[in-house]
């Protein structure tokens, strides 16, 4: 009996270290799965472990909020900040030189991927005062143009100054890292905060090094930057930054719209109606100026067309069979549960996709209700910034697990949100953790 009491006392003494150990293990497992997803087809176990670890990263800080170590920031930058600056520059330089080599040996080819060629057409139309969202013509066929403004707008710089489009995501990421280094200058005062910051560029570099299709054919690093910016913005009380961050995410992907009700509910529970109103106004103005007035007002069916095009693309990917595995190529990387719906017997593919989408929407509804209840009941014991970032991580875990086309490059976003979450937890000051 005394031995058990001593054991539990020791656990309580080291609770902070134990919580951090589990979180780091969860992140490492998530990271290892994502960087090795092209090397296996063990769908049954890998996707389950990815889901468990991804969810754990969001759940653990909420449950053990009080056990997290409080950071005491210094009045001036410590040597750890200079180490972080140096290491980040080194990693960004490695990323840049790899990008140069990739661009030199891999041209943009619409026959391999239509993402960047589509963006090129949209930018060209915008600069020549044509309507951006007329059907795209590539490789002899036409399809609706569905990329939202925050996806293609940054590439105007590449078209204007005549450099390769694939440099833009790198440039935005480099600017984001510089911003983080400047904003968190005084809080990077220990080994843990140094490592957690370096984790952001290092995890991205290793992810794209092992999945070179990410920088070659997609612009997902750009979308990931928006989500990292969102994670850091919602920890502030600056309504303008929060509104811009949310707008960037909404103007790149529709998916964040399903998480937003929880954010608004949290502000209402905190009786922060004034800030909520200001944030909503910034979002409305940004979306109106950059999407509704110039584009949606001229073609009201854009949203529906984009969603229908994505759905039909999903049907096509489920029918595209890999000759070696006899299974759809993008459903067998261990990154989602779409595979489990694909192997259901006696159901056609459109019905399988419909079932997957119904399960996703049902889980998101359960998520919104349960998380709202948890925050309402325990709001005095929870840090609002931590709860919001963790809820975003949980939401993304559900969304990407039940997405019906689990392309590898899409997982850049949840990986970067994981890195941002760990960095914020390590660098947060006492007053941030007890909000």
pLDDT the model gives residue 287: 95
**CA contacts within 13 A on the Cβ side of 345:** 0
Find the mean pLDDT for residues 334-342.
89
pLDDT the model gives residue 65: 78
pLDDT the model gives residue 7: 42
pLDDT the model gives residue 228: 96
Pairing mode, if any, of strands 327-328 and 321-322?
A: antiparallel
pLDDT digits 0-9 by tens, 132-182: 988 888 766 777 777 899 999 999 999 999 999 999 999 999 999 999 999
pLDDT beyond 80 at 73: no
299 or 122: which leads in pLDDT: 122
pLDDT the model gives residue 137: 80
Confidence of residue 405 (pLDDT cuts 50, 70, 90): confident
pLDDT beyond 70 at 315: yes
pLDDT beyond 70 at 366: yes
Find the mean pLDDT for residues 396-413.
93
pLDDT the model gives residue 136: 83
327: β partners: 322
Determine the distance from the C-alpha atom of residue 408 to the mean position of all C-alpha atoms in its chain, rounded to a whole number.
Answer: 13
Largest CA distance in the chain: 79
pLDDT beyond 60 at 5: no
Phi, psi of 322, deg, nearest 5: -80, 125
pLDDT the model gives residue 248: 97
Lowest average pLDDT, out of 109-123, 204-218, 295-309, goes to 295-309
Pairing mode, if any, of strands 136-138 and 327-328?
A: unpaired
pLDDT beyond 80 at 431: no
pLDDT digits 0-9 by tens, 13-66: 567 788 889 999 999 999 999 988 876 556 678 899 999 999 999 999 999 877
pLDDT the model gives residue 2: 44
Structure tokens at 194: 């140094």
User: How many whole angstroms separate alpha carbon 36 and alpha carbon 30?
Assistant: 10
pLDDT the model gives residue 434: 43
Phi, psi of 323, deg, nearest 5: -65, -25
Total structural domains within the chain:
1
User: How many whole angstroms separate alpha carbon 188 and alpha carbon 192?
Assistant: 8
**CA contacts within 13 A on the Cβ side of 62:** 21
142: β partners: 137
Lowest average pLDDT, out of 118-132, 162-176, 305-319, goes to 305-319
Structural domain boundaries, residue 106: 2-433
- Global pTM value: 0.92
Angle at 252 between CA 23 and CA 93, to 5 degrees: 60
**Averaging pLDDT over each range in 107-116, 140-149, 207-216, 416-425, which range is the top one?**
416-425
Distance of CA 277 to CAs 274, 284, 401, Å?
A: 5, 10, 33
Find the mean pLDDT for residues 344-359.
90
SS3 content of the chain, % helix, strand, coil (to 5): 75, 5, 25
Residue with structure tokens 């843990």?
A: 192
């Amino acid at each position: 009996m005394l031995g058990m009491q001593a054991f539990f006392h020791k656990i309580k003494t080291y609770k902070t270290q134990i919580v951090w150990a589990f979180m780091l293990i969860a992140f490492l497992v998530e990271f290892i799965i994502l960087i090795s997803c092209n090397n296996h087809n063990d769908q049954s176990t890998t996707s389950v472990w990815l889901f468990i670890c991804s969810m754990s990263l969001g759940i653990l800080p909420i449950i053990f909020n009080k056990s997290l170590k409080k950071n005491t920031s210094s009045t001036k930058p410590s040597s750890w900040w200079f180490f972080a600056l140096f290491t980040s520059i080194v990693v960004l330089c490695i990323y840049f030189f790899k990008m140069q080599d990739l661009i030199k040996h891999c041209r943009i080819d619409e026959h391999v991927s239509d993402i960047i060629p589509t963006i090129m057409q949209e930018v060209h139309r915008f600069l020549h005062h044509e309507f951006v969202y007329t059907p795209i013509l590539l490789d002899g066929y036409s399809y609706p143009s569905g990329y939202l403004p925050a996806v293609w707008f940054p590439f105007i710089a590449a078209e204007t100054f005549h450099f390769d489009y694939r440099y833009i995501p790198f440039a935005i990421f480099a600017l984001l890292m510089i911003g983080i280094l400047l904003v968190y200058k005084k809080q990077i005062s220990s080994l843990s905060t140094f490592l957690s910051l370096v984790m952001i560029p290092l995890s991205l570099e290793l992810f794209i090094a092992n999945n070179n299709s990410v920088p070659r054919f997609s612009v997902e690093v750009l979308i990931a930057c928006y989500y990292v910016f969102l994670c850091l913005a919602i920890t502030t009380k600056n309504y303008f930054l929060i509104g811009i961050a949310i707008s960037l995410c909404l103007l790149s992907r529709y998916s964040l719209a399903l998480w937003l009700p929880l954010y608004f509910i949290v502000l209402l529970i905190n009786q922060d109606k004034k800030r909520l109103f200001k944030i909503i106004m910034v979002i409305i103005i940004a979306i109106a100026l950059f999407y509704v007035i110039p584009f949606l007002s001229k073609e009201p069916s854009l949203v529906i067309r984009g969603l229908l095009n994505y759905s039909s693309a999903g049907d096509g990917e489920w029918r595209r069979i890999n000759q070696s595995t006899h299974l759809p190529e993008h459903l067998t990387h261990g990154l989602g549960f779409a595979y489990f719906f694909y192997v259901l017997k006696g159901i056609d593919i459109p019905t399988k996709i419909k079932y997957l989408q119904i399960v996703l929407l049902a889980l998101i509804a359960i998520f919104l209700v349960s998380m709202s209840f948890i925050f309402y009941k325990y709001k005095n014991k929870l840090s609002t910034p931590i709860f919001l970032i963790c809820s975003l991580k949980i939401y993304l875990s559900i969304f990407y697990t039940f997405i019906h086309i689990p392309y590898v490059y899409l997982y850049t976003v949840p990986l970067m949100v994981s890195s941002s979450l760990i960095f914020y937890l390590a660098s947060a000051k006492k007053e941030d953790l007890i909000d």
